Structure 1
Amino acid sequence: MKRKKHTSAEDEAQIDMTPMLDIVFIMLIFFIVTTSFVKEKGLDTNRPEDNQSNNDQPSKALSIRIAADGTIMMGGREVDIRRVVANTQTYLAENNTDSAAIQADEDTEHGTVVEVMNQVKVAGIAKVSVLVKKG
């Protein structure tokens, strides 16, 4: 009986990786094809543009403060809610602006804030920001 000589490590059995790689690529293609991409629902935001070098930039925004008791302050003086349109138009005549900032107290009634927003929009300012001041 003839004995086999010991073979080197290179002659030992090896695992063929080709079928495993084929299966991995087939699974990858399957998952790519079956994945569904859904546009998420939410609010669209209007982000400001980066170009800040315009010389005809509007001046600072019209500032309106509403206290917790409903008192409206424009330009450092108290204004009646029925006179917001007139005061806003006067401000627009003197200043080049296209925005207004309404700073309302946390305890201010929402109806008052909405009414002031409507009055400012009627006066001709389209961009209105609302800020809440915590008491």
Structure 2
Amino acid sequence: MSKTKRQLQEQNSDVDMTPMLDIVFILLIFFIVTTSFVKEEGLLINRPNKSQSNSPNKPVIMLQINENGLIQFNGKAVDIERIPARIENFLAKNETSSAVVIPHANVTYDTVVKVIDQIKLFDQLTVAIGK
């Protein structure tokens, strides 16, 4: 009798996988529904055409940013808040329509964007990013 009892127990000991599959599908649906897709934003840069290049006689505003985030305006150190005053002074003495920002490879994007924002206060200037 014990042998038949064991055989009955072995036959009835199957695991029912249906509830586990239901839970897996419910979790899958939950994660699909709650996933949000984010569109990454970047800088929009308009590259000038070759025909729009400056003549060699026109001076160019050069802003260099070193790896420590220090800014140089045409080779002289300047604070980020003083950039508009320097540009205004430069435009009073020289006629130019372009500014070049040359960031170091290790500079944060935040610093570069702040410098470009300071230049964009002047509508007549076009901004170029150099290496």
Same fold (TM over 0.5): yes
2:61 pairs with 1:62: yes
What fraction of aligned residue pairs are identical, expressed as a percent? 25
Larger radius of gyration: 1
TM-superposed CA distance for 1:123, in Å, is 3.3
Unaligned segments of structure 1, at least 5 residues: 1-42
AA at the equivalent of 1:62: I
TM-score by length of 1: 0.55
Pair 58,125 (structure 1): closer, same or farther in 2 beyond 3 Å: farther
Matches within 5 A, 1:101-116: 101-116=100-115
Is contact 1:58–1:98 with CA below 8 Å preserved after alignment?
no
| Pairwise CA distance, 1:66 | 0.3
Question: Following TM superposition, where does structure 1 have runs of at least 4 consecutive aligned residues deviating by more than 6 angstroms?
Answer: none
| 2:76 equivalent in structure 1 | 77
- CA distance, structure 2, for counterparts of residue 87 and residue 48 of structure 1: 28
Instruction: Give the count of matched residue pairs.
Output: 87
Distance 1:96 1:83 in 2: 20
Residue 51 of structure 2 aligns with an amino acid whose one-letter code is E
Shift of 1:49: 2.4
Query: What is the SS of the residue equivalent to 2:120?
Result: helix
- TM-score (normalizing by structure 2): 0.57
Q: Deviations over 1:24-79 (max 9, x none)?
A: xxxxxxxxxxxxxxxxxxx9865232898x8xx87121011100111000132210
Higher helix share: 2
Cα 1:49–1:109 change in 2 (3 A) is: same
Letter in 1 for 2:128: S
CA distance in 2, matches of 1:71, 1:86: 17
Q: Decide which of 37, 47, 50 is 2:49's aligned counterpart.
A: 47
